[in-house]
Amino acid sequence: MTGRAAAPAAVIAGIGRYLPPDVVTNDDLAARLDTSDEWIRSRTGIASRHVIAPGTATSDLAVEAGRRALASAGGGGAEAVVLATTTPDQPCPATAPLVADRLGLGRVAAFDVSSVCSGFLYGLATAAGLIASGTAENVLLIAADAFTTIIDPADRSTAVIFADGAGAVLLRSGLPNEPGAVGRVVLGSDGSLGGLIEVPAGGSRQRSSGVAAGPGEDFFRMRGRETFRHAVGRMAESSRTALAAAGWDGPLAADRFAAHQANGRILTAVAEELGIPPERRLSNIERTGNTGAASLAVLLAEATARGELAAGHKTLLTAFGGGLAWGATSLLWPELKTVDD
Ligand code: UT7
């Protein structure tokens, strides 16, 4: 009897991150907005964030992070580039082909994934599918956002939270049970709540209406308090499903918990709901703010570089954001070299 061979798994073989050098502190924001360092720290856990210089685009961040992930994996290429972003360089074409070209990867498959702050997890599932189907042997997944380009600088409720950055992983074809193999990615969405996080204008709905965008409609808007509630519930729920899919014996089986860096209070609430103790929670929101799709990838790359996330750690990942869209997955963290610092 001949059985079908198991599909290859996507295995993380390299990781990198890039944060633009310019830093904005809470006091910098308080100098031009009706806010304070105390409010921002206590409500979000953020002290400072990295922002792009004028003229910089998402592809500039993505190329830097992608280059580092490729170097971390040993300097080879990739047969496909998947770029998770909410802030493409232009509405058309996708930004990934430009990034692939600038990385010198040749005429490889390249496309964008749009899933706001869950983009890295949606990108992981997409990259894993490319590998499982035999479309690509290895995939460079980059998650990058120049989020400050869609934030209304006068809106204190979002301007203090969102920031810019990029993270990347090189995924290679491997075995499902080896370190670094990405587990089942649990994904979900609820479009009926799309209005909680949106940029109202600039798409086909507004353009076909023949009515010009109203004041501020080109900017990102978030109904924070309602979003908060959904974020906690959906991340906790998808984390439990991912743990069960991995066959792990509940949240306490996870050595490390990495969640989208949306808000320090959200991270605490999700971890407490799951019963994950503080020393197992990874967080860098204090220094990065919320970098959208990039957030989880930047966190993983930074934690690896700092040794907070190391080979053998059973790691639980989860994210939540506009769409609404969310997800979670698990993996045994592999041995990785980092080249960031
Ligand atoms: O990444 C994608 C997913 N994103 C999230 O999951 C984010 C979810 N939401 C949040 O992180 C929080 O809801 C925020 C940080 C956005 C807001 O925190 P909050 O504790 O939910 O505050 P709130 O929106 O309920 O506002 C409380 C008060 C309001 O004043 P009043 O109405 O009570 O007088 C706001 O106007 O805080 C005011 N406020 C501010 N005050 C000083 C809002 N932003 C600021 C600010 N500085 N920057």
Say which CATH number the domain at 30 has. Answer: 3.40.47.10
Whether residue 95 is found in the same domain as residue 240: no
Whether residue 128 is found in the same domain as residue 19: yes
Tokens of 76: 């080879």
Mark the ranges of the chain whose per-residue pLDDT is less than 70.
1-4, 340-341
Say yes or no: CB of residue 129 within 6 Å of ligand 1: no
Say yes or no: CB of residue 290 within 6 Å of ligand 1: yes
Q: Is 290 a catalytic residue?
A: yes
CA-to-CA distance for 293 and 227, rounded, in angstroms?
A: 16
CA distances from 4 to 175, 178, 308, 320 (A): 15, 20, 39, 35
Residue nearest atom 43 in ligand 1 by C-alpha distance: 157
Burial of 112 (0-12, 13-18, 19+ CB in 10 A): buried
E-assigned strand segments in 47-148: 48-51, 80-84, 109-113, 138-146
For residue 287, the CA-to-ligand 1 centroid distance in Å is 19
For residue 45, the CA-to-ligand 1 centroid distance in Å is 12
Say yes or no: CB of residue 266 within 6 Å of ligand 1: yes
Say yes or no: CB of residue 268 within 6 Å of ligand 1: no
Whether residue 170 is found in the same domain as residue 196: no
Whether residue 165 is found in the same domain as residue 244: no
Q: State the pLDDT at residue 235.
A: 98
Quote the mean pLDDT of the chain. 96
For residue 173, the CA-to-ligand 1 centroid distance in Å is 43
Say yes or no: CB of residue 227 within 6 Å of ligand 1: yes
Whether residue 197 is found in the same domain as residue 321: yes
Domain annotation covers residue 181 = no
Say yes or no: CB of residue 306 within 6 Å of ligand 1: no
Domain annotation covers residue 338 = no
Say yes or no: CB of residue 82 within 6 Å of ligand 1: no
Residue nearest atom 30 in ligand 1 by C-alpha distance: 157
Whether residue 158 is found in the same domain as residue 53: yes
For residue 135, the CA-to-ligand 1 centroid distance in Å is 44
DSSP state of 53: P
Q: Is 260 a catalytic residue?
A: yes
Domain annotation covers residue 180 = no
Residue nearest atom 29 in ligand 1 by C-alpha distance: 157
Domain annotation covers residue 219 = yes
CA-to-CA distance for 229 and 267, rounded, in angstroms?
A: 12
Substitution site in 228, 230, 326 for ligand 1 pocket (most atoms within 8 Å of beta carbon): 228
Summarised one tens digit per residue, pLDDT across range 159-189 is 999 999 999 999 999 999 999 999 999 999 9
Whether residue 248 is found in the same domain as residue 128: no
Domain end, chosen from 174, 201, 218, is at: 174
Q: State the pLDDT at residue 129.
A: 98
Q: Which residue stretches of 73-106 are H helix?
A: 96-102
For residue 295, the CA-to-ligand 1 centroid distance in Å is 19
Whether residue 250 is found in the same domain as residue 209: yes
Say yes or no: CB of residue 259 within 6 Å of ligand 1: no
- Total count of domains within the chain: 2
Whether residue 162 is found in the same domain as residue 190: no
Range of the domain at 322: 186-332
Whether residue 144 is found in the same domain as residue 50: yes
- 26, 138, 260, 313: the active-site residue: 260
Q: State the pLDDT at residue 1.
A: 46
Summarised one tens digit per residue, pLDDT across range 234-284 is 999 999 999 999 999 888 899 999 999 999 999 999 999 999 999 999 999
Q: State the pLDDT at residue 251.
A: 83
CA-to-CA distance for 141 and 112, rounded, in angstroms?
A: 10
